[in-house]
Structure 1
Amino acid sequence: MSNLHYPQFCALARAAELIGERWTLLIIRELLLGAKRFGDLLDHLDGVSPTLLTARLNALVDSNLVRRVTLPRQANAQLYELTDIGREIEPAIRELIRWGGRFLFPPVPGDTFEPDWVMLGLDAIARRTPVPDIAIGLVVRHDRKSAAFTIAGGQNGTTIRKGGTDCKGSLQAPFDAVLQIIGMSISLEAAVASKRARVSGSAALVRKLPQLFDLAERRRGATTAM
């Protein structure tokens, strides 16, 4: 169990005891993206020691937020994945990402970035109301790494899933350019002209990408409030 304890009979205090230790929320972020091996977690949590990661995972397992899964003998590996109780924290993580987004820029020199994290970031700003019934491919690149997604709209809002095949229009760009295009602080044409983005297939379809998110409206609201 976590060594963190607040002597208060309060649900928020109990939640903080479970997930308030350093690195714990980021471990949960990784597991929301899928089950992972210990080495995968270590690679994506730059700065955490193997000893500390082991302690955090043990505490999460003891709290029934995470479970260990042993793969068949041929694979000879153990995975960590969220339990049903652990996965119930996803809406709270989404709101934390929405809130934390205002403090994201400018990037801190030396910070690491994994393109896979974009899936949770985009889900946090996805519309939850009906949007155009379209599917747009997205490839987010960073240095030599990249991650592909499909951004799909419909009556239930916007969904983001891994993989970007079978889309009639796709956008390839670094994450900061993707946010600027979605937030309508730069146009798709300007991003392409400056070589910060590349479009494959239907540019008219990709131009509808901001309609699947509420980032532009939130930014306008923040500007109005100032």
Structure 2
Amino acid sequence: MSTNAVVTTPANDAFCSIERTLGIVGERWTFLILREALTNGATRFADFIEVLGIAPNILTARLKTLVEAGVFKKREYREEGSRPRMSYHPTEAGRQLLVVLGALGQWGDDYIPPAAGVTQTRETASGRKRLRVGFVEDPAVLKDVDDIEFVRTPSHPRYAES
């Protein structure tokens, strides 16, 4: 699940992994691009433009950040009669962000559902069993959020041993 790859981020000097991660994915459009790539299979610039209605300059900037951070990799393709273009494909680091998207969707479904009803569910690909995102102690034990703590380590600048 975790890799030894070092990802360079705009907030690379930040001590907090959350802050460094937000340096890559912390903007609304970035999460929507990830949603389309990870849940709907979008890979092409034109697909993102069409579905999201995002301005080309913003899409270009967000895709550049995702590629530089190792979340997407570019591949060249060419449609007959057209010039070569690039498509964008999630790497393993990108695919792991599906957990974050699932957690955001689950929170939205639970606390701010659309009036017309939830638009997506999270299910197993085989068997169509509903899924919930959560903290897992081991594969058989889902932990309640009341039993979760974020514990500062000695690497934290405000670490205080208790």
Q: Which runs of 5+ in 2 are unaligned?
A: 1-7, 133-162
Aligned-residue CA RMSD (Å): 2.8
Matching residue's letter, 1:93? L
Shift of 1:104: 2.8
* Aligned mates of 1:7, 1:62 — CA distance in 2: 16
Q: Identify the structure with the greater strand proportion.
A: 1
The residue aligned with 2:37 is 31
Q: How many residues align?
A: 119
Secondary structure at 2:100 match in 1: helix
Using the size of structure 1 for normalisation, the TM-score is 0.46
Matching residue's letter, 2:113? L
- Listed as ranges, the matches of 1:57-72 within 5 Å are 57-71=63-77
Deviations 1:140-175 (A, max 9, x none): xxxxxxxxxxx752xxxx3xxxxxxxxxxxxxxxxx
Using the size of structure 2 for normalisation, the TM-score is 0.62
Matching residue's letter, 2:71? L
- Listed as ranges, the matches of 1:16-55 within 5 Å are 16-32=22-38, 33-46=40-53, 48-55=54-61
8 Å contact 2:9–2:20 — kept in the other structure?
Answer: no
* Aligned mates of 1:62, 1:28 — CA distance in 2: 15
* Aligned mates of 1:58, 1:152 — CA distance in 2: 34
The residue aligned with 2:121 is 122
Higher relative contact order (CA 8 A, sep 6+): 2
Secondary structure at 1:122 match in 2: coil
Q: Work out which of the two has the higher radius of gyration on C-alpha atoms and give 1 or 2.
A: 1
Inter-CA distance 66–87: structure 2 relative to 1 (3 Å threshold): same
- Listed as ranges, the matches of 1:1-226 within 5 Å are 5=11, 8-32=14-38, 33-46=40-53, 48-71=54-77, 74=80, 76-101=84-109, 102-106=111-115, 121-123=120-122, 126=123, 153=127, 158=128, 212-213=129-130
* Aligned mates of 1:50, 1:106 — CA distance in 2: 31
Matching residue's letter, 2:114? F
Q: Which runs of 5+ in 1 are unaligned?
A: 108-117, 129-150, 159-211, 216-226
Shift of 1:45: 1.0
